Amino acid sequence: MSSYRLKRYLSVFLWATGLALCVRLFLVEDYRVLSDSMLPSLLSGDLVFVSKAHYNVRLPFSTYELFKINKPKRGEVVVFSLPGHGMETYIKRVVALEGDEVSIRKGELYVNGKSAMASTAPTATESFDGGLPHALLWDKKDVPDYGPVLVPQGHFFALGDNRVQSLDSRNFGPVPLSCLKGKVSLIWLSVGPQGVRSDRFGWIRS
């Protein structure tokens, strides 16, 4: 192979690597769901694409915002980290925003005094601001009462769709907006104990 062709291949490789790195740092990243806290919306073993630039663009490897694009909305499924929790990443649903009052009574979520419950039979579902309902893993006798609490400025309140078994804002409190990593947009692959779950591919309802 001539030195010219070698340099050409190397140049293409470096450009492709740089482009892929930029996409991963600023635009899209993939995450693997490692718990059942978002059942039935997300299963352990789902691999999802996260739109990193949906809310803001950050300086890589930091929480410093270069510029803000959108604020999260109630009902969106998001990825975030927490101060003091190392590299651990959480995938939850935004249920309340700054200034909202949040409470749970008899298993039902209330935001600003209004129940988010859309139905309880045959499947429990919630809906926010007139959006499409999403299913819950829910049993009112197993979901303890909570609040009311007021979400402070610069924060959001996040819950798992599996209200019976989820580590979320009921445990660690409202989440700073600066901790947002992005919006979950697509399940691109799902691998369970029996192998690939081909029926799991699709857009996330949020």
* Catalytic site positions: 37, 92
Task: Provide the token pair at 12.
Answer: 């293409």
Phi, psi for residue 68 in degrees, rounded to 5? -95, 140
Tokens 């939850």, residue located: 92
Cα–Cα nearest to 110, from 75, 147, 160, 73:
147
For the chain, strand residue ranges (E) read: 28-32, 46-51, 56-58, 65-68, 77-80, 90-97, 101-105, 108-111, 114-115, 117-119, 125-126, 134-135, 146-150, 155-159, 175-176, 180-192, 195-196, 202-203
**How many Å apart are CA 188 and CA 32, to the nearest integer?**
10
Point out which residues pair with 30 in neighbouring strands.
49
CB atoms within 10 A of CB 83: 11
Q: What is the CA radius of gyration of the chain?
A: 20
Task: Provide the token pair at 68.
Answer: 């803000």
